[in-house]
Structure 1
Amino acid sequence: MKFSAKEKNRMKEKYGSWAVVTGASSGIGYELALRLAEAGINLLINARNELKLEEIRQDFQRRFAVQVLSVPGDVSSEDTINTIIESSKNLEVGLLIVSAGFGTSGEFINNSIEAEKSMLRVNCEALLILTHHFSKVFVQHKRGGIILMSSMVAFQGVPHAANYAATKAYVQSLAEALAIELKPLGVDILAAAPGPVKSGFGQRADMKMGFSLTPEQIGAPILKALGRKTTVLPGTLTKFLVYSLMTVPRRVKVLIMNKVMGNMTRHQAQST
């Protein structure tokens, strides 16, 4: 979807000249960072892949004449989170996008507890710390925007991805509540809840994705929704999947997701 000149101007006028984007080296995080750079917004970007992050920094500066600072590191580490916060203190940051995240899948009892704990730190704890810090900054400035990456799996339990879906339910619930709390103080909160997306996520989670969206299809709709909605379901596929289950009892949704996710992770059982 095209990111119009009108929307680019709105983002810069409403949220200022600097944005912080985690998970910016690939997938949705990269696409959102790219769209912001196109809009002339300076970036502080974070991802685990230091070499890729440096390539992006140089590319964006060359193509869009924006300032780009990079903070490589895994946000499961508080040192990385603290470095992001410290690096932003002298910048007029008005926008935070928390896109760093990963998923686990398969039978819960067979998964590594260390991987499950790491996912909680990345998907929930790091998101909480960054959201708390920048919310206070934005309230002081009486303006700001925060985009938190939820998922369509946030709306019911998902067997074979139980803990991952639970982390996204946390993100969704937090975003919905903060949107009400912070709106009167000038801060917009958005939960972005896409369906399956072609990115490195599926490979890391060891899931075989069927029909899926591309980051290019959902970047602009997510940014367009900030300040206008509390939750955005970006992409036609996402809307179809969510709305088709809307009137279904919650337990039935869980049973449906059991079948869907079971098919996506069946190869794990076959390989053991």
Structure 2
Amino acid sequence: MSMTPGQDSALKARFGPAALITGASDGIGRAFAGRLAEQGFDLILVARREAALQDLALDLGERFGVRVTVVALDLSQAGAVSDLLTRPETAQIGLVVAAAGYGSIGTFLQQDLAQEAGMVDLNCRSVVELVHGTGRRMADRGRGGIIVFSSLVGFSGAPLSATYAATKGFVQSFAEGIAPELRQRGVDVLSVAPGPVGTGFAARAGMQMGRSASPDTVARAALSALGRRGTVRPGGLAKLLGWSLAMLPRQGRVRVLGAIMKGMTARDAASRG
């Protein structure tokens, strides 16, 4: 849907006036920022890279006439979410997109422990803190929307990406558990479980993705599903892989995902060699 700058949308009427997006400087978070600005939301953009956020804020503000607030924070750090939610701009949040996260690939014992623990903090703890803080405010108002991110690998263990898959399994279970509770208070919860997505996430994790969905495909599918479904798998490949894996017993899924991850690491080693 294309809209003129400043034009309100049904999405904003239901979940506005402001949206908070974490991980907004790149990839999926950035795609959500563009989509929501187009639909008239004021935005609070959160990520570590302030310069990238400022550039994005300037662009979206000029194109769509919305108010954009930039908050440079590392949400993996203790107290970061609490600091974020004390800002006066967050009082009007009606929609949260918790897109911040990262992964790793390779055998667990070869990974840097601080990076693995930081992944748990960012992918899990910060999501719980953010949903708790914003969810209470939305529930008190009787309306709101929360989008969190699981993954295709979040439905079983994934050798060579064990910590990442576990964090996404946590998010999936968390979303499924809180959705019925918050629905009774007028708040919709959606878990987005994409397969490979063409973002900077893959480069940080050391993955060679091959065929992948675009960040905009993920954003469009999620916003369309919010309030209608509990989990969405954006893109044809995610749907195909999700259906195929669901037909297998859990241990079979683990073996298949291990083979997929092994293929990614093999392509990565070949590209470096």
1:90 Cα deviation (Å)?
A: 5.9
Contact 1:15 1:144 in 2 (8 A): yes
**Cα distance change on mapping 1:147 and 1:247 into 2, 3 Å:** same
CA distance in 2, matches of 1:9, 1:95: 14
**Cα distance change on mapping 1:257 and 1:145 into 2, 3 Å:** same
Residue of structure 2 equivalent to 1:83:
83
Which structure 2 residue ranges, 5 or more long, are not aligned?
none
1:79 Cα deviation (Å)?
A: 4.2
Contact 1:71 1:83 in 2 (8 A): no
CA distance in 2, matches of 1:90, 1:190: 20
Residue of structure 2 equivalent to 1:23:
23
CA distance in 1, matches of 2:87, 2:114: 29
**Cα distance change on mapping 1:83 and 1:57 into 2, 3 Å:** farther
Residue of structure 2 equivalent to 1:210:
210
1:78 Cα deviation (Å)?
A: 3.0
Matches within 5 A, 1:1-272: 3=1, 9-88=9-88, 91-266=91-266
Contact 1:106 1:268 in 2 (8 A): no
Aligned length: 268
1:88 Cα deviation (Å)?
A: 4.5
CA distance in 2, matches of 1:216, 1:90: 25
Letter in 1 for 2:176: E
CA distance in 1, matches of 2:173, 2:11: 25
CA distance in 2, matches of 1:85, 1:245: 39
Letter in 2 for 1:233: R
Contact 1:22 1:100 in 2 (8 A): yes
1:4 Cα deviation (Å)?
A: 6.0
Letter in 1 for 2:262: G
Letter in 2 for 1:117: A
**Cα distance change on mapping 1:16 and 1:68 into 2, 3 Å:** same
Report the 3-state secondary structure (helix = DSSP H, G, I; strand = E; otherwise coil) of the residue aligned with 2:147.
strand
Q: Structure 1 segments of 4 or more deviating over 3 A?
A: 88-91, 267-272
Between the aligned residues of both structures, percent identity stands at: 40
Letter in 1 for 2:37: A
**Cα distance change on mapping 1:88 and 1:252 into 2, 3 Å:** farther
CA distance in 1, matches of 2:13, 2:108: 46
Contact 1:44 1:88 in 2 (8 A): no
Q: Deviations over 1:180-216 (max 9, x none)?
A: 1110110000000000000001100011111111112
CA distance in 1, matches of 2:84, 2:56: 17
Cα RMSD, aligned residues only: 1.7
Query: Normalised by the size of structure 1, how large is the TM-score?
Result: 0.94
Contact 1:74 1:80 in 2 (8 A): yes
**Cα distance change on mapping 1:4 and 1:237 into 2, 3 Å:** farther
CA distance in 2, matches of 1:80, 1:244: 39
Between 70-79 and 248-257, report the one with greater CA deviation.
70-79
Q: Deviations over 1:110-155 (max 9, x none)?
A: 1111110000111001111001101101011000000001111111
